Amino acid sequence: MFENLKIIKLKNRTLLKIKGKDSKKFLQSIVTNNIDLISKDRSIYSALLSPQGKYLYDFFLFLESKENYIIMDCEKIFHEELIHKLNIYKLRSNVEITLKDETDTYAIYGSDLSKLISILKIKNNEGCTKNISDNLLFIDPRNRNLGLRVYSNNLLKEFNSLSKGILSEWDYIRIKYGIPHPCSDLVKEKSFIIENNFEQINAIDFTKGCYVGQENTARQKYRGTAKRKLVVAKIIGKDISNGERIFIDNKAVGTVRSSSLGICLVSINTVIYENLKNNNITINVKNSELEFI
């Protein structure tokens, strides 16, 4: 039925439970997105910043369908750090943060997505959420082209019958649409999320009020003070390693980030990028060339 759909288990993810009567108020005061948007029908993507507005952690947030507490889907390698940071901020709030390690996380992607979404009777909008037979699923809040995220210990038979996906294919879709994988593409306590497309991937609410790092984030948006941007480039030649610096006239102007199947993300000085893009100029990087798309 779904020849052009694949499923991949995301082994790099961990789920946290956030419970207690002050949970929403607590999260609303520290994360970049609007917690009030979360419901049984909608999930969101968000981040936690330093007081200076620099990236620390990113995560998906959604409601547990039965007990109505908040679940945070985060990077497994950073989950202990994240729990520690959240516990620092909660102070005396009635909030409990624990590990929810009994549920697996999957992504479903491919050209038959709209067909599957129609059958599941979900609106084809970012963040739209549904629970079907203990499978909680939602359309990726960052960009619907990334497909469905599914949380389950007993996958629906329709999902079990799908072909096994390949991470590089899913990464290709992510990179094609300029979507960072912060664990690979940002530097903790150094990167600014405005410079890394977090506004475009629905991770920031500029009307919700104060949160940690809000002042600098808003200033970069409204005063246009961001100096860099994250863009997509075609690799002509051999693969280029993540972290490879880009030089023009012996001056560092950018850094290559994650890549897959001949395309990559590049963090680059905004002025330099506009000149290269407008004049169709390619640049040499490590025996290869980058052509900005």
Q: What is the CATH number of the domain that holds 118?
A: 3.30.1360.120
pLDDT at residue 201 in the model = 98
Asked if 75 and 153 sit in the same domain, the reply is: yes
d(CA 251, CA 166): 37
CATH of the domain at 238: 2.40.30.110
Residue-number span of the structural domain to which 261 is assigned: 227-293
Average pLDDT over residues 190-213: 97
pLDDT at residue 148 in the model = 97
Asked if 238 and 156 sit in the same domain, the reply is: no
Radius of gyration of the chain (CA): 20
Asked if 51 and 168 sit in the same domain, the reply is: yes
270, containing H or E segment? helix 270-278
Task: Tell me, yes or no, whether 216 lies in a domain.
Answer: no
Task: Tell me, yes or no, whether 194 lies in a domain.
Answer: no
d(CA 176, CA 189): 26
Q: Tell which of 108, 142, 174 closes a domain.
A: 174
Supply the mean pLDDT for the chain: 95
Q: What is the pLDDT of residues 120-131, one digit of tens each?
A: 999 999 999 999
Asked if 134 and 250 sit in the same domain, the reply is: no
What is the token pair recorded at 70? 């908040």
Alpha carbon distance, N-terminus to C-terminus of the chain? 34
Query: Is there a contact between 16 and 118 (Cβ–Cβ < 8 Å)?
Result: no
Reported as a pLDDT band with limits 50, 70 and 90, residue 66 is confident
Give residue 151's Cα distance to chain centre: 16
Reported as a pLDDT band with limits 50, 70 and 90, residue 1 is low
Task: Tell me, yes or no, whether 240 lies in a domain.
Answer: yes
Give residue 3's Cα distance to chain centre: 27
Into how many domains does the chain fold? 2
DSSP-assigned letters across all residues of 223-277: S----EEEEEEEEESS---TT-EEEETTEEEEEEEEEETTEEEEEEEHHHHHHHH
Q: Tell which of 135, 159, 174 closes a domain.
A: 174
Asked if 54 and 164 sit in the same domain, the reply is: yes
Q: What is the pLDDT of residues 68-111, one digit of tens each?
A: 899 999 999 999 999 999 999 998 899 999 999 789 999 999 99
